[in-house]
Structure 1
């Protein structure tokens, strides 16, 4: 117990220094020395929460509760983790216990009340859900929508222009918004463009040109500007692929989504957008994008974005060599690129809890061979043998995916056949990671570029999230 406690204390120091993987390793060593102390598990659960390994956090908190059914912190951790993966009915069970055991805890009471509201809201939305509901664009008369007299930006006609995009970049840097008419025009134009693209877009890099692959940007607009400053802006000769999770968490999600969409409209053949697990309704309601749309524009804006997210492709194949998708590989070795090509994503607007779309948006690599349960509590994990077989069967050099923080901004795993790229440095203003992107020229060699977070206006991440807990995680 004495040796274990010393390791736990070292883990606490690593946690304070935001070195979550080291903290987890030290807490795990403490548990190996002495596995009957519940606080070792709740501390490790908190570190897992910081790394968004919510499934592991639930398992650790449950073990702590088994060791001590009166340990309030364990119920607290489990409730937080279940809230994060949208298991609100499980979370409310634990919030009730916390509130009962600690009636003076105002934060727990606020979480309990927020969770109750979400459960009621979700039940209401499910009750009124109609499979053939009309588009949010129905009834819009864009031609006769007025532009406010105080709008001082470039005018937008029936086609996107480079002048408008460049003005938009500066406008957003200065905290200005777009007229609603222009917001609607941009989202609807890109929805139509993306809807008509295949589920897996296939592209090549011509001589003298290049494509840049970016991972999650998560509403960190000023860090996106740093990518463009370092690497150049999108153009007909310099393609960009943004591999999902443009929105949520960061508090400039509207700005990123609108700018990427404006570029997509301007350069439909050299701006590529893959859907991520955060381009989905349930995540947007919890992690801030819905609230941000309503705060900066209106509810219709969110609904139009939601429809456009459902139109986004799920993957991009670069030069027949690199399969790029947000999450990762599949639960079945028999799935091939042809199955992705044939997938009709328009039949399923939201990814659900199973199936190819869910796996493409949610899965993660693991070091052990085979497949395992998801550390997130959603989807699954796949090992190096799974990646090797998929690449060999499909003639690929590697898969490129995002979906997870990497402290260096990127990581080559599974004998360099599984590459994770993450482009939100100092994620949520708290993680301390670098960001990265990949340049691919006509020789198809991967060039990794790292960058650090830049200063941004004093608006905290999760400023528009629906739950107060989300801003604390």
Structure 2
């Protein structure tokens, strides 16, 4: 019987491998699981870890890689996949250990050696930055900038602040906004955000609507298409973009500068929440840091980082709907006041646990209760957790983003939890629709879906670190 199980497990593993090649990762996971149930060998766990990487379930990938290594400590692929997952989570020191092990076992692998060297550089740079931050006398970039001393060359033919509205069509032709104007926009938005609470109460315009959008991830042409099909921000049409404006897509700078410009024009009609990708660790891996440095400068990226640190963490629409990027909490007693009291300006980068972390990283699950996060950060929360939180805080529903969905949105937890994702054909490969939610003054919700539109031939994560090959879809 044992030998029969081994033969059957190998057949199922081969089926899973074929499903993986067809990018049917969820089905492949099911078949690898069936193979593991019959014969739990290290390679099946390692293969399943690779599927989880593709689905961005980094916590599950780490668990499977560790199970593989427990069965076979010499399985180099498992070290490689655990390193990949830790890199995706910004856990660079942990990733470095595995890359060292891979290079020790396969010293001639140039790809592994290059990744080891880059990971080591990131770890060294982070330690240097922490040492600098420990000196409280170091001024912020915002405090050291004087835009009045920056000259705009006569040859500059892009938009000019105070001469035309710095929105709508700035970047359609891939023209770059002058650094003086980019710095001016960033400084203005940072100042606005620093004066805002961590949780912002907003209302739907009496004579119009409020649109809630999820992740747009640097897909500028799809992002602008939202305005084309649904209307541009105005006094009667408010927008709330629920985090993850940047990374993955290679036009993140254009997206976030357009959003920030609209924030300057309509400060009470354009709302922005922080996502888990408006953070330094994510930006180092997924492209935004590289993009800003390529198009502008390191100083510009540092100012973006300071501005992201000031972004609010949550919004409540007319005392009825909570909107956060990730989700709910590992504790049952959290109130809206607890969210309001989060000192995000002092924390700056999200910690690895606690309310701020969970707001940015958590995901819903169909099962009751709470579960370990598939991402390795935050928690998974069930319909009972959602129901109890909403009742405790006298709310009707939760809107969140953070996860790609085939139709752009999903309604879960008996209609009390909605996920909205606004980056269609995510990473030019997933084939999903994007979605948005229009909310009228009487609090009726309209879900609108849309397809991807053409964009210049620039691949996703063009500016990402070489680790992007491990982490792409």
Q: TM-score range by the shorter chain?
A: over 0.9
* 1:160-210 Cα shifts (integer Å, max 9, x gaps): x8x4234xx433111110111100110111111122222111112243311
Question: Is structure 2 residue 430 aligned with structure 1 residue 431?
Answer: yes
Tell me how far 1:361 sits from its aligned partner.
1.0
Distance of aligned partners of 1:212 and 1:132 in 2 relative to their CA distance in 1, 3 Å threshold: farther
**After TM superposition, what 4+ stretches of structure 1 lie above 6 angstroms from structure 2?**
none
Aligned equivalents of 1:346, 1:140: Cα separation in 2: 20
Aligned equivalents of 1:420, 1:235: Cα separation in 2: 25
Structure 1 segment 117-156 matched on structure 2, within 5 A: 117-129=121-133, 130-131=135-136, 133-156=138-161
Tell me how far 1:110 sits from its aligned partner.
1.3
Aligned equivalents of 2:103, 2:159: Cα separation in 1: 53
**Contact 2:235 2:269 (C-alpha < 8 Å) held by counterparts:** yes
SS at match of 2:212: strand
SS at match of 2:165: helix
**Contact 1:18 1:432 (C-alpha < 8 Å) held by counterparts:** no
**Contact 1:45 1:61 (C-alpha < 8 Å) held by counterparts:** yes
- Alignment correspondent of 2:111: 107
Aligned equivalents of 2:281, 2:72: Cα separation in 1: 33
- Alignment correspondent of 1:243: 242
- Alignment correspondent of 2:419: 420
Aligned equivalents of 2:470, 2:221: Cα separation in 1: 20
Tell me how far 1:381 sits from its aligned partner.
1.6
Aligned equivalents of 2:25, 2:153: Cα separation in 1: 48
**Contact 1:216 1:422 (C-alpha < 8 Å) held by counterparts:** yes
Question: Is structure 2 residue 363 aligned with structure 1 residue 364?
Answer: yes
Aligned CA RMSD, in angstroms, stands at 1.8
Structure 1 segment 386-397 matched on structure 2, within 5 A: 386-397=385-396
Aligned length: 466
SS at match of 1:463: coil
- Alignment correspondent of 1:228: 227
Structure 1 segment 209-288 matched on structure 2, within 5 A: 209-288=208-287
SS at match of 1:62: helix
Question: Is structure 2 residue 339 aligned with structure 1 residue 334?
Answer: no
Tell me how far 1:15 sits from its aligned partner.
2.4
**Contact 2:152 2:178 (C-alpha < 8 Å) held by counterparts:** yes
Tell me how far 1:472 sits from its aligned partner.
5.2
Structure 1 segment 70-85 matched on structure 2, within 5 A: 70-85=74-89
In the alignment, structure 1 segments of 5+ residues that lack a partner are none
- Alignment correspondent of 1:164: 165
* 1:289-308 Cα shifts (integer Å, max 9, x gaps): 11111110111111111111
* 1:276-321 Cα shifts (integer Å, max 9, x gaps): 1111122222222111111101111111111111111111111211
Tell me how far 1:470 sits from its aligned partner.
4.8
Distance of aligned partners of 1:285 and 1:132 in 2 relative to their CA distance in 1, 3 Å threshold: farther
**Contact 1:369 1:382 (C-alpha < 8 Å) held by counterparts:** yes
Which deviates further from its counterpart, 345-354 or 460-469?
Answer: 460-469
**Contact 2:326 2:359 (C-alpha < 8 Å) held by counterparts:** yes
Question: Is structure 2 residue 16 aligned with structure 1 residue 11?
Answer: yes
Aligned equivalents of 1:472, 1:401: Cα separation in 2: 23
Which deviates further from its counterpart, 435-444 or 92-101?
Answer: 92-101
Match for 2:41 among 37, 44, 63? 37
Aligned equivalents of 2:311, 2:233: Cα separation in 1: 19
Distance of aligned partners of 1:443 and 1:23 in 2 relative to their CA distance in 1, 3 Å threshold: farther
Aligned equivalents of 1:82, 1:241: Cα separation in 2: 31
Aligned equivalents of 1:471, 1:67: Cα separation in 2: 23
Which deviates further from its counterpart, 76-85 or 253-262?
Answer: 76-85
Aligned equivalents of 1:215, 1:9: Cα separation in 2: 37
**Contact 2:216 2:246 (C-alpha < 8 Å) held by counterparts:** yes
Aligned equivalents of 1:243, 1:469: Cα separation in 2: 24
Distance of aligned partners of 1:348 and 1:70 in 2 relative to their CA distance in 1, 3 Å threshold: closer
**Contact 1:84 1:470 (C-alpha < 8 Å) held by counterparts:** no
**Contact 2:426 2:432 (C-alpha < 8 Å) held by counterparts:** yes
Which deviates further from its counterpart, 246-255 or 22-31?
Answer: 22-31
**Contact 1:359 1:379 (C-alpha < 8 Å) held by counterparts:** yes
Which deviates further from its counterpart, 66-75 or 213-222?
Answer: 66-75
Distance of aligned partners of 1:154 and 1:119 in 2 relative to their CA distance in 1, 3 Å threshold: closer
SS at match of 1:107: helix
Match for 1:54 among 55, 58, 61? 58
Which deviates further from its counterpart, 1-10 or 340-349?
Answer: 1-10
**Contact 2:43 2:68 (C-alpha < 8 Å) held by counterparts:** yes
Question: Is structure 2 residue 193 aligned with structure 1 residue 194?
Answer: yes
Tell me how far 1:454 sits from its aligned partner.
1.8
